[in-house]
Structure 1
Amino acid sequence: MLIAFAWPAANVGPRDLPVAVAGPQAATVAQKLTAQDGEAFEIRTVTDESEARALIGDREVYGAIVTGGGAPQVLVASAASPMVAQQLSAIAQQMSGTAAASVQDVVAADPDDPRGAGFGAMVLPLVMSGIAAGVLLTLLIPSIAARGIGLVTFAVAGGLLSMAIVQGWLSLLPGSYPTLAAIAALVSFAVAGTIVGLASVLGRAGIGLGALTMLLIGNPFSAATSAPELLPQPWGAIGQLLPPGAAASLLRSVAFFDGAGAAMPLTVLLVWAGAAVVLLGVAALRTGRPETAPASELVPA
């Protein structure tokens, strides 16, 4: 657990971080960024500021450096990653040579959570509650069909309750409550369903396998407090293929970017939820299959 949680946090840094440069001196700025660290940024050169803003709004880049008319202006999106926004702001100060560099937050984080600390802390409870529900359903309910009903009930109730707290009390996310509650329900089903499905097929060993996957790999590499491109690779990319990372990315996309970039994390969550249903189906078929008596026990009528 120390390695899983401390190692990513101690090695945070840009790795092929998508940024855009625009304006008449875009090529010069791109050369400077590449000279500082050739592997830190994935640079896209665009014609003007409006195109750079469009890329940020579509979640194709985390920020942009706009040149022309004096010192470069830096566009950031703290809603995508407050940590990346801080790093790009520091680059703006280096380029301008002053502490008061021109930085504009194009897509700002929620004003009640400007540093994203609350958002980052929101993912772990979703994972932990899903693990707890999966373990309880496995240990307390023997019927596969009843476990499936319990999963759906938990997902719906968990989605409605968690977003009621997140939006109504803590005010961490803007956007449509029903949509965000549906996302939270999908996350809850994917996590708990993975535990129940693996346990139904593998026995109690499936509980440990599913819980360790979600807790020791999925949560620390979810990039909920940073960005996938800031984590050691390929773990940053692997984290986006697990429910915790997909949940963080999907909630950001829907809450702040009008659904831009939501296709990939939504697909990941649906695949995990579908895999859970398949595992439950396999377990149900195995349970319902009648056992054949050994040949030595067969007696003629």
Structure 2
Amino acid sequence: MSSPTATEPRATESSVRRSIPPLAQLAGLTAALGAILIALLALFILPSLKSGAHDLPLGIAGDPAAVTQAKAALESAAPGAYAVELFSSADDLDGAIADRTVHGGLVAGPQGLEVHVASAGSTAISGSLTATAQGVGRAMALPVSVSDVVPLPEDDPTGIGIGGLAFPLVFGGIVPVVAFRSIFKNSDRWKLAGLTSFAVIGGVIVAAVLRFWFGSITDSFWPVAGSMALGIAALAIPLAGLQQALGAKGFTIGAASMMFLGNPLAGIATTGAWLPSGLGDLGQLLPPGAAGALVRSTAYFDGAGSLGATLTLTGWIVAGGVLHAMGTRRAARRETIPA
């Protein structure tokens, strides 16, 4: 009795494909590609379409009677948009904004309503809060003024520099893995050294462009460089680990997840708090979102609120290193097993 040959499975698969009518194959492939297109549209557009203020921490300070009236008017103008915290003074409110405890606030008095924002934290949130404050002012029959507690640099008043980091960050984490893997096929040490070196150099390059070309940052060059380096490493090391442990399929799945999930949910341009509930939180647990939050904190807020993002990125790097070590050990065991 003859044993099955290696060509038999391929012949069977080929015969199955031939048995399916061309029209059915065309329709099936078209439907599958259409479903993928719908999924991509949902991933990239739906989060932005459904974004907005929802339970954003907001402070209110000022005259007690005016504060009570402002709080009621705020709830009427934007129900569910803000979670209000009361402060004893405008200085305390500004301190909380600088510490990123709240996204902004209102200072209410008998003579007027002053809205305090941090455009460096999110132009979307500061713009929304300013518009809402105008409605509150009309309800209270008070003039409204705006105070930007943490403004963006004059050379980048809309925050486009840092807001546009999502794709370069993901690109900088994916491409080096492929490049260094192709050059150092037989040396994991040199490959990892290359990824680490690129993360550091890439962080410096991005910080230099933001500082000296775009004018998006002023006096926080090295903190931003370090934040970007950590972000690139948190993408590259896990992808290298997936490639080492699971092969090309592992790398492809990881890279696609970062590109098509981590990228649109990063919220770098608006912050994760502006994205729909749940999606924004998920995005901050992935390297692109955590890196964007860390860069913004170090660039404009002296690192305030950066602990969570730092721990998240560090966790991804450690996980990637563990995966890489597991893959290396498994490959070594296969080589020592006699044929």
TM-based fold match above 0.5: yes
The residue that corresponds to 1:43 in the other structure is 84
Quick one: distance in 2 between partners of 1:46 and 1:167? 35
Higher helix share: 2
Among candidates 52, 60, 63, match of residue 21 of structure 1? 60
CA contact (8 A) 1:175 1:256 kept: no
Specify the code of the residue in structure 2 equivalent to 1:49: A
- Give the letter aligned to residue 284 of structure 2: Q
1:4 alignment partner, one of 37, 43, 54: 43
Other-structure match for 1:172 = 216
Secondary structure in structure 2 of the residue aligned to 1:72: strand
In structure 2, distance between residues paired with 1:15 and 1:270: 29
Structural mapping, 1:79-158, within 5 Å: 79-97=120-138, 101-142=144-185, 143-158=187-202
Match of 1:206, as an amino acid? G
Equivalent pair of 1:145/1:284 in contact (CA under 8 Å): no
Pair 1:206-2:247 in alignment: no
Alignment of 1:210-225 (within 5 A): 210-225=254-269
Residue type matched to 2:173 in 1?
G
CA shift in 2, pair 1:2/1:153, >3 Å: same
Paired residues in the alignment total 294
Q: 1:229 to 1:220 in 2, by over 3 A?
A: same
Q: Highest Rg: 1 or 2?
A: 2
- CA offsets, 1:66-106, max 9 Å, x none? 11131211000000001111111112222223997300100
Is structure 2 residue 336 aligned with structure 1 residue 291? yes
Distance 1:21 1:163 in 2: 35
Q: How far 1:125 moved relative to its partner?
A: 0.7
1:53 equivalent in structure 2: 94
Deviating above 6 A after TM superposition, structure 1's stretches of 4 or more consecutive aligned residues are none
Gaps in structure 2 of 5+ consecutive residues = 1-39
Post-superposition shift, 1:32? 2.5
Gaps of 5+ in 1: 295-301
C-alpha contact 2:113 2:143 (8 A) present in aligned 1: no
Q: Is the 8 A contact 1:137 1:196 kept in 2?
A: no
Q: What is the match of residue 298 of structure 1?
A: none
Could you state the TM-score of these two structures normalised by the residue count of structure 2? 0.82
- Counterpart of 1:34, as a letter, is E
Deviation at 1:135, TM superposition (A): 2.5
